[in-house]
Structure 1
Amino acid sequence: MYEPYPVPDLARDHKKFRYSSLWTFAKQDLRLLAFLLVIGCFIGVGIGYFWICISLAFAIFFIFQLRSLYLVNEWISNRPYDVPPNLSGIWGALLFNVYRAQRQERVVQAEMVGLIDRAQSSLVALAEAVILTDELHQIEWWNPAAERLLGIQMSDRGRNILTIIRQPSFIEYFNNIDQSPDGIKIKSTVYDEHYVQIKLTRFGSESRLLVAYDVTRVHNLEQMRKDFVDNISHELRTPLTVLSGYIETFTDQEDLNPRWKRAFDQMHSQTRRMNALVNDLLLLSRLEGNKQIAKNQIIEMPSLMNQLFDDAQAYNVDYGHTLNLDIDSHCDLIGSDTELASAFSNLITNAIKYTPKGGSVTMGWHDDGQHGYFTVQDTGIGIDPKHLPRLTERFYRVDSARSRQTGGTGLGLAIVKHVLMQHNAYLEIDSIENQGSTFRVVFPKERLYKPE
């Protein structure tokens, strides 16, 4: 890298240069003007043409300034990246400032280019596919992994990405990114029986960053798990039915020894619990496999809420809670009545089970014009906030000992989550330990139906 023209003090001492005033540089021009005027004065006095010589001195100084201006203009116009001409005075200071700013800008540009090259090299090395699209959804850039996973080719530059990845689920996701924050999984168009997880991020006005990676192995493992759970649940139903039948037969005998009766009662309780677990597993498996089934029944919410309230009163006999029903909405719901009734019932029975005897449980149906709300509020034991993010996971238990006492399967809230996902709804949970919890199911406006 070359150095600027020699201005020793300024070039080596930027701090000194930075705080020097314009007068420091103007003095060089003033010294030159004074020198020319002195020479002109002596010559003018000697030959008797004083003012003419003084005028010539000013003219020579002016010519020097015009020459400097010409050199500055010629350098800026034709050789801006070369070493500037060696000028003194104000023009020299101007050139030095321009040249120094130019060099600093080139250093910044070189650093930015290097940073961009490193970022691009890292993106090229990624196993995940990366695609950049502009405001018109046209492909601007992609890495080699995008060619392998998504079949992007050189001829696709400038094409609308929706004309290349044309699955309806992707188009729906592309137009409604916020509705699927975790992205979507689609079947690969490049390899048979392969699956790709796609995540879109919006930046700028309408530009998008697409990141995709192969999830075939995870998909296959998940499918194996589902098949195993489904198959083993079906296989368990028959022996459990047989066991339950024989246990009930022995339990109903009047001459049964009290010691044996206690044992048979415990066996009966545990087989009921296993039956409940198997039924929940089968229901969860069915929900996961029927995501595309239309949920378009019109559910009369006052009727459903009264039915849920009657069921809750029957379940509440052993607990003695105060049950309340609060309905202040005239909207009905569009969905699957059996699935929603199962989800709502799960929330109600959980509230009853985990509220100490003599507590209060309130179930309600409300709307604000934009959303519908099914709520269950209790005065129970509450939940530590650290457990809330994982509460809808399968078999997740806040307290295993307490769950064994209540006979829970650990699948109730997982079933609720899947039912709500299929109805474009979601679950909100507010809870304070030892004070109570509020479970709120939020339905979008599209799921509300106002009767005539």
Structure 2
Amino acid sequence: MHPHLVFWISAVVRMIIVLVASSVAGFFWGLVPGLVLAMLGMMTLIFVQLNYLLRLADWLDQPSSSHLPDGWGAWTEVFSRLYKLRRGDEKNQAELAEWLARFRQAMSLLPDGVVIMDDVMFLEWCNPAAEQHLGLSLSQDKGMRVTNLVRTPEFIDYIILGRYETPLTLSFRERKLIVHIIPFENRRQILVTHDVTESERIDMMRRDFIANASHELRTPLTVINGFLEIASMQPDMEVSIRSSHLKLMSEQGERMQRLVEDMLTLSRLESMEYSVHHEAIDMHGMLVQILQEGEALSAGRHQLSLQYDGPDILGSADEIRSAFLNLLTNAIRYTPEKGKITLIWENCPLGPKFIVQDDGIGISAEHISRLTERFYRVDKSRSRETQGTGLGLAIVKHVLLRHKAHLLIESTPNVGSKFCVQFPANVILLN
């Protein structure tokens, strides 16, 4: 039956009951008592309706399915339908709140910055990446104009011109950002920021690596080709001159070979497919061998010594030997004659530590952070004199990364340098 028909039938039934009761009272006690009873009955019905209207008005101020009043008569159906509607709304609100929480959690995990603004650039919401990229604070900056928070001429021009089809490359807060504004709904806009600082740095390193490698290879190739051209033009060249040319070509060939070998070593160390082969390493035997190779390279020009007071470890013996030998070789190359170079292997609370300490020429502070870059040289002329490839410390860095170790460098010009390799404690070989 239709709800409206049920409502009117129940209302008419209640009025008929009042009228019948009034008629019975009038039949037995007279007309006046009957009319009084009819009036009281109708006033009661009106009062009940007004009471339920008041309770409904109070509930509408703070609608909740758990505090919905009970009804009588037609109000039972009214409150029952309101209860169903409110329960549906609460369920929808809970689902929307859950989706909103998921959305914000997903946005907070994105590496790209996301800023939601209205049509006049007032900040409504942003994720942590956007706060980091643009220096925003959602708790403090919400409701403020984004152009007042990001004060760069390029960004403001981008906003004013409104050419949002092309992203903006922006240098801001020592970062390089790709900024793109996307119109969203009628009165919303999304600002997306992508940090390309690291990729730009990697691209620059790649370009520098190619340029430096080409330059390093060009010099010995030029020498070899030049000598070959001279030899072809002068077939009856004196034996002494030919011998000196062959010696120089041999030296340059060996230099190219070392350079290619170091580049291949770096490539192998950076490969994810080339995992670390862990094995037990006799550190005393390895360090004694490294010391002997250092003494052969020094040829008596330096005082080399070894202080051994540390444990054997687990790791790749070939890689660690290569890293330690590179550190010692650098110390020999950059320490004047009669200088002292000390190798130290010891244990400390953080784990085993290897130290190469010298009293050589030292390094200025501004160069220390870049020493492990490929082909980076503090003194290019001295490096070429000592036949360095410029890749030794880069190899050391990657070996240590693969063994969860790190390199600490302390140096003072004209006083000396200290290269310290700190291993984690879990590499110690347990007996």
Q: Which has the larger radius of gyration?
A: 2
Q: Could you state the TM-score of these two structures normalised by the residue count of structure 1?
A: 0.46
Q: Could you state the TM-score of these two structures normalised by the residue count of structure 2?
A: 0.48
